[in-house]
Amino acid sequence: MHALPSLLRAVGLALALALPGAGSPPDRPLPPQTFLAPGTGPFALQSFAACLEYLERLAGPNIPEWVLHSSLIRYSARSPRYDPQGRPLLDKAGRQICEQVAQTGRVFFPPTWRVPFQRDLPLVVYAHATTMKKHAVASEFGGHEWLLGAAAALYYGFAVAMPDQPGMGGDAGHYHPFCHAKSLAYATLDGIPAAADLFAQDPYLVSGGYNWNGKLYLVGYSEGAYTALASVKELEGHAAEYAAKGIALTGSACMAGPFDLSGLTRADIINPLREYAHSFYLPYIVRAYHEIYGQVLDPREAFAPVLLETREDGDLIQWTDGTLDGLEVGDRIGRRLGVAGNRVIFRSILNPLWLARELDDPAYETSAVHRILVENDLHRGWTPTRPILFSQSPVDQDLPFQNTLATIGYLGAEIYKNGGDPAKLLVSIPIGDCRDGITHIEGALVAMPTAFNWIYYGMPTE
């Protein structure tokens, strides 16, 4: 997500949810509460929309604690290592070697008046969506997406942790491992103890009697959805190991993510007619995988020569270094290719010779890129045991709805094969219908409140 557009006051904020009370039964939310907002007169928290709009009017670092409390977290996270051939480096016990990398994030808490009787809060870990700007993250009150997490803390009475994605915020010296499952999962999960420790260390929380109730939810949209599902997969695969650290999953909401990279996503990349509104996604993943896997995927071989030409406006390598946002990168790609920035065909970004060797049939099945994409698929090969919400617009132009449907189908088959009931674990809530025309970015403004509401009401499966 790049910004909160005018849709904030239209589709995304037309939800008008009744204000939940942290200590009330799920089916009986408290009536709206009113408090006096400085300079605005009486202000009613009647909906998530009103709460978000109010927070928009306040400067991030200057939000008073009686409105919202937040704490910066710093922690060390695992960063997996690979050899020059792009294969995992293993220790003598056969485990992948990881470097410890300094990460940052921010945790938002409701004020004491918002949770007057019961301050045992669930922890919602919110993985932010794709951003190229390294400092457009919650730890620095950068960008806009942190407002959704802050509003969820104030409106629902959650503790909401928003880790900066690796390569962002305090880790800006590294390149962001875009859609690399292990890197994103480790950076997310390794931040949970730091967030939980705040309950015993933060003076505001200690004096107010705040506690974590042990419930843990992972949520995200777009790349945040990919991050959340990668984290769920990691947790499910090593449940006992994480339980020993006090981390046990309650549920997750993984919405509009590129879960099937090797199949559906690759098919979109090679489609000669498929136009993308946000073309920066492709060079982002190519550059990220180069940083992780080395020369197995070399951007200077993969990108179209015209995009590598250094002109007055720079070149594609410079544009994707983390100083520009994704929309700016997409516009520059479009201008260089002679098309509108929102009408770029992914295939045109790539070198035809490289495409023929790595992504096109029949070479694809034996290529190094195929191996890398399969390694980072999330849509099959594991079994969920805790509820997952999937929510996406059926006409999403950046990440086709079929990616979500296929993931539900594959994971449902895994659940059924292992004796479970997919209907009790996998929930799909489409964002509008085909007539609504809700885009990928607009969809986030509906999906995230939907996820928070679903969590608050006990993750209903019907």
CATH superfamily for domain 6-260+378-456: Alpha/Beta hydrolase fold, catalytic domain (3.40.50.1820)
> Which residue ranges make up each domain of the chain?
6-260+378-456, 278-375
* pLDDT at 244 exceeding the cut of 90: yes
Amino acid identity, position 1: M
So what's the pLDDT on residue 49?
87
Q: Tokens representing 112?
A: 């004491």
So what's the pLDDT on residue 153?
95
* pLDDT at 1 exceeding the cut of 50: no
Contact residues for 72 (Cβ-Cβ < 8 A; gap 6+) = 104, 105, 106, 139
So what's the pLDDT on residue 3?
41
* pLDDT at 243 exceeding the cut of 60: yes
Q: Tokens representing 372?
A: 């890398």
* pLDDT at 45 exceeding the cut of 80: no
What band does 36 get if pLDDT is binned at 50, 70 and 90? very low
* pLDDT at 437 exceeding the cut of 90: no
* pLDDT at 421 exceeding the cut of 60: yes
Model pLDDT for residues 162-204, shown as the tens digit of each residue: 999 999 999 999 999 999 999 999 999 999 999 999 999 999 9
* pLDDT at 418 exceeding the cut of 60: yes
Average pLDDT rounded to a whole number, residues 232-245: 97
* pLDDT at 27 exceeding the cut of 70: no
So what's the pLDDT on residue 47?
83
pTM: 0.92
Model pLDDT for residues 50-62, shown as the tens digit of each residue: 889 889 988 889 8
Determine the Cα–Cα distance for residues 190 and 96; give it in Å rounded to an integer. Answer: 16
What band does 46 get if pLDDT is binned at 50, 70 and 90? confident
Model pLDDT for residues 366-394, shown as the tens digit of each residue: 999 999 999 999 999 999 999 999 999 99
What band does 461 get if pLDDT is binned at 50, 70 and 90? confident
Average pLDDT rounded to a whole number, residues 331-356: 97
What band does 42 get if pLDDT is binned at 50, 70 and 90? very low
Long-range pairs for 64-68: beta carbons < 8 A, 24 or more residues apart = 64/38, 65/111, 65/204, 66/111, 66/113, 67/37, 67/111, 67/154, 68/108, 68/109, 68/110, 68/111, 68/150, 68/153, 68/154
Mean residue pLDDT of the chain comes to 90
Determine the Cα–Cα distance for residues 329 and 131; give it in Å rounded to an integer. Answer: 11
Average pLDDT rounded to a whole number, residues 420-429: 97
So what's the pLDDT on residue 354?
97
Q: Tokens representing 431?
A: 């964002």
What band does 5 get if pLDDT is binned at 50, 70 and 90? very low
What band does 44 get if pLDDT is binned at 50, 70 and 90? low
* Nearest CA-CA partner of 291 in 136, 191, 166: 166
Model pLDDT for residues 100-151, shown as the tens digit of each residue: 999 999 999 999 988 988 899 999 999 999 999 999 999 999 999 999 999 9
